[in-house]
Structure 1
Amino acid sequence: MRAVALILLPLLLQGCVSWLQREPGPPTLASLQARPRTVQAEPVVAPPPGQVMAGYQVLLQQPAPPELTWEATRRLADLQLEQGEERLGDASAGNASAQDFASAIALYRRLLERDGAFAGRDRLLYQLARAEALAGRPARSQQALDQLVREHPNSPYLQEAQFRRGEWLFAQADYAGAEHAYAAAVAAGEASPFHQRSLFKLGWALFKQQHFEAALDAFTRLLDRRADALERFDSDALARGERELLQDTLRVVSLSFIQLGGAAGIDHYFRQNGGRGWLHRVYRSLGDLYLKQQRILDAAGAYLAFVRQHPSHPQAPGLQLLAIDNFTKHGFPSQALAAKQELAERYRLNGPAWRELDPSSRAELTPHLRRHLRDLAAHYHALVQQKGRVSKAQRDAWFELAVAWYRHYLARFPGEAESGAVNFLLAELLFERGAFN
């Protein structure tokens, strides 16, 4: 062990010793003719961690300057913490990890009890908090983090420390305290991965306090930062963890908007705070949540709310079709009929919404328009032909609608294979009504 200690000693004294070199003499003929010799350096094999720790323990038993003792103690504590983490969950190690954590904690506390003459106390507190948490003492870990943020407001560990504090406070249902900790972590900067995680949990802490608009402010900031990922939301290329974060964020955003009036709440919030390119995701998420709650009319209303405000958006036709499908599937025929009619009128050929729709969206929508136009015409044709006591005015109105939808279809899809059959149905209807002209 003493040999290992001697190996470690220079590492602790890096930068403290300089090597003296002789000034080179004038070149000689022999030196000019000599070939340089290449010396192959032997690879240095690092001793195992157990030997390294034993070496530090030997060093600590020897008289040494305070700074050397301090550094050796710190390194020994770090190694014991690292060893404890490696043993954690290893059944064959028994209780060894707990002993490692206890030893590391004792060493960190011993260093912190000194007068603070040495730099790096914030790191000691950070490591102590980690060790206490791994040892299963979260309250003591929290105390170390509290001390870190109180005494070292400019520490590079501050952001993570505030996030960890927020997690502890949130778990204790101290949502106001968690809010302040997460907000401090957010304010510490955007470069760290803890920034976006803190934004997410800040939103949740505010939501738990029923501060729904403030929660939405935090979630909106997060979604703004992940706008590129939202564009790839339906792609398999999006990493699982990122997809789950976005799904969870959109879900709690939807829960917040349910408290603020549903789709009308979305309309109001984004009128006040500006539109977003990912806004369709919010309406879709709200509709999907309503659907899971079996609130079919509210679900379709959320989908249609986006369509009515942004009819030329590439996602608008799909949301309208989703509303129609849910009306049909869940037994709302009159609402399905109205939504089909709204679709056909909104995307009328040469209408503003159709003209502004991108070519790929037009191509995707066209077969659905073809089908729904036929459905509309067939529906009113069937009403005209139904038996029973119906006023002449009502039957005439149905007739006019059936004719209008047949003609709409023929004007939109002239010369297609199905157009002949549609034209025949129109002629049959006109004949039945005696409209020979």
Structure 2
Amino acid sequence: MNIVPCHRLLLLLVACLLVTAADAGVKKRDTIKSLEGKTYDVRPGRVIVNSTAMARDNYKAFLDLVSDDPDLRAEAMRRLADLELEATEAQQLASNIETLDTTRFESAVSLFLQLLEAYPDYRRNDTVLYQLARAYEISGMTDDALEVVNELVDRYPQTAIINEVQFRRGEMLFLRKKYIDAEAAYQAVVDYGDASRFYEQSLYKLGWSKFKLALHEESLDPFFELLDRKVANIELKDGDDRLEALSRAERELVEDTFRVLSISFSYMDAAESINDYLGQRGNPEYGYVIYMNLGDLYLEKERFVDAAMTYEAFVEREPYHPKSPLMQVEVIEAYKRGEFPTLVLEGKKRYVDRYGLDSPFW
């Protein structure tokens, strides 16, 4: 027996019901004229309770009935497994992981595995593998999840979900401190382009992967690309409110990026490296924050002279920048904290020369 596609079956069923209704209840066709003046009670549709459970039951019944159409069986198995996984996720959100009922999870995993074994050429096996990996991850079987996503990348490098797969894979690898492999996974997402919704997060984690590998100079590009996207076109305020134009999550992301950049430059040639790198990037408006943060990092470590030199490096580079007078004040304050009275006086003199009322700045 040949089984027609599901949507055709549904159409045939509806047609049969309509024919039956026509034979049983319609004795005289109403005309438009005969409908005039009649009132009709329009009731809102009923909400189907437990529709997901009903759908699961229907797919199970369908699998019991259909045995000779591989395409339909594969599709039904996939949908049933997806529904079992969704039910597991819903339960996980509603309760603690320790109390999670594993029955549905085991059912989902079993169905995914059966599907992969029985129908190795099923056109959506890339999605099946991804869902299987998610099922393993939800249950805490993260090693199995990583093994599955590795298989997915190897077997289906051109899958439409490759950028999401590579990002999830990168996250698993990063947590295992396998930074070389994580770097490659995040790079694959970045290479995919900013059409991916994981692009910015992958830039961030790509930078961190390189940083963890002590590739400090190489880590700069992805971090600065992220900053260009987040803060290049907004006005930065002073103090703790400098990123108020961003959402809380974005602020945390940007502030952490600024922080790790400070550490990277401290491992390089400090302010000199900042000068060189920002010159290559066209001197972005937010560049002063990089100097400020590195100077602040040195202050935390009580490296007062290094802090002052970092602040002053920005002033010397961009003496007419709106933030330069503030940075010159930071030079003076760093010397004060380090108790260098002679350097404090020199800093004050330079401030007057550069930003006094008769200076070219005004």
TM-score, structure 1 length as denominator?
0.71
**C-alpha distance in structure 2 between counterparts of 1:93 and 1:210, whole Å:** 36
Query: Are 1:155 and 2:195 matched, yes or no?
Result: no
Residue 309 of structure 1 is matched in structure 2 by 317
Take 1:290 and 1:29, find their aligned partners in 2: how far apart are those partners? Answer: 88
Q: Output one character per residue of 1:85-136: Cα deviation in whole Å (capped at 9) or x when no partner.
A: 1222655896543332222111111112233443222211111111111111
Change (3 A) 1:237 1:222: closer
Given candidates 50, 53, 63, the residue that maps to 2:53 is 50
Check if 1:206 corresponds to 2:210: yes
> Measured at CA, do residues 184 and 57 of structure 1 come closer, stay the same or move farther in structure 2, by a change above 3 Å?
same
Q: 1:61 aligns with which of 54, 60, 64?
A: 64
CA contact (8 A) 1:85 1:97 kept: no
With 71-80 and 57-66 compared, the bigger mean Cα shift is at 57-66
Cα distance in 1, alignment partners of residues 214 and 340 from structure 2: 34
The structure with the largest alpha-carbon Rg is 1
Partner of residue 117 from structure 2, selected from 109, 113, 131: 113
Comparing 127-136 with 208-217, greater Cα deviation is found at 208-217
1:7-22 superposed matches below 5 A: 13-14=6-7, 17-18=10-11
Q: Secondary structure at the match of 2:7?
A: coil
Structure-to-structure mapping, 1:114-263, within 5 angstroms: 114-227=118-231, 228=233, 231=236, 234-263=242-271
Distance in 2 of aligned mates of 1:57 and 1:93: 27
| Structure 1 residue 274: Cα displacement | 2.9
Answer yes or no: is the 8 Å Cα contact 2:207–2:222 preserved in 1: yes
Query: How far off its partner does 1:346 sit?
Result: 0.7
Any idea what the Cα deviations from partners look like across 1:404-426, whole Å, max 9, x if unmatched? xxxxxxxxxxxxxxxxxxxxxxx
Distance 1:148 1:39, change over 3 A: farther
**1:66 Cα deviation from its structure 2 partner:** 2.9
Evaluate the alpha carbon distance shift between residue 296 and residue 97 of structure 1 in structure 2; reply closer, same or farther with a 3 A threshold.
farther
SS in structure 1 opposite 2:42? coil
Contact 1:304 1:323 in 2 (8 A): yes
Are residues 112 and 328 of structure 1, via their aligned partners in 2, closer, same or farther at CA, if it must alter by over 3 Å?
same
Question: Which range is displaced more, 177-186 or 166-175?
Answer: 166-175
- Structure 1 residues 237 and 217 mapped into 2: Cα distance closer, same or farther (>3 Å)? closer
CA RMSD of aligned residues (A): 2.8
Which residue does the alignment assign to 1:430?
none
Contact 1:83 1:97 (8 Å CA) reproduced = no
Name the SS of the counterpart of 1:14 in structure 2: helix
The 1-side partners of 2:31 and 2:269 are apart by 94
Contact 2:315 2:328 in 1 (8 A): yes
Whether the 8 Å CA contact 2:328–2:347 is kept in 1: the answer is: yes
CA distance in 2: counterparts of 1:93 and 1:275, whole angstroms: 49
Q: Distance in 2 between matches of 1:34 and 1:198?
A: 63
- Show the counterpart of 1:345: 353
| Structure-to-structure mapping, 1:99-110, within 5 angstroms | 99-110=103-114
Structure 2 stretches lacking a partner, 5+ long: 20-28
* One-letter amino acid of the counterpart of residue 140, structure 1: D
> What TM-score do you get using the length of structure 2 for normalisation?
0.84
Q: 2:300 aligns with which of 286, 292, 295?
A: 292
How many residues are aligned here? 339
Q: Compare 337-346 and 69-78 and name the one that shifted more.
A: 69-78
Matched residue SS, 2:242: coil
CA deviation digits over 1:239-269, x for unaligned, max 9?
2211111111111111111111111111122
Q: Which amino acid aligns with 1:337?
A: L
CA contact (8 A) 2:243 2:251 kept: no
**Identity over aligned pairs, percent:** 35
Give the Å deviation of 1:30. Answer: 5.6
Distance 1:323 1:186 in 2: 39
Q: CA deviation at 1:328?
A: 2.0
**For 1:382-422, what per-residue CA distance to the aligned partner results, in whole angstroms no more than 9, with x for missing partners?**
xxxxxxxxxxxxxxxxxxxxxxxxxxxxxxxxxxxxxxxxx
1:132–1:13 Cα change, 3 Å? same
Q: The residue matched to 2:177 in structure 1 has which SS? A: coil
> Contact 1:102–1:135 at 8 Å: present in 2 too?
no
- Aligned partners of 1:310 and 1:140: how far apart in 2? 54
- 1:38 to partner: Cα distance: 4.9
1:200 & 1:93 partners in 2: Cα distance? 29
Point out where structure 1 has 5 or more consecutive residues left out of the alignment. Answer: 1-9, 23-27, 356-437
Distance in 2 (alpha carbons) for counterparts of 1:230 and 1:115: 56
**Greater relative contact order, per chain length (Cα 8 Å cut-off, separation 6+):** 2
2:23 counterpart residue number: none
Q: Which amino acid aligns with 1:231?
A: L
Q: Could you say what secondary structure the match of 1:313 adopts? A: coil
Change (3 A) 1:136 1:40: same
Q: Does the C-alpha gap of structure 1 residues 93 and 208 become closer, same or farther in structure 2, counting only changes over 3 Å?
A: closer
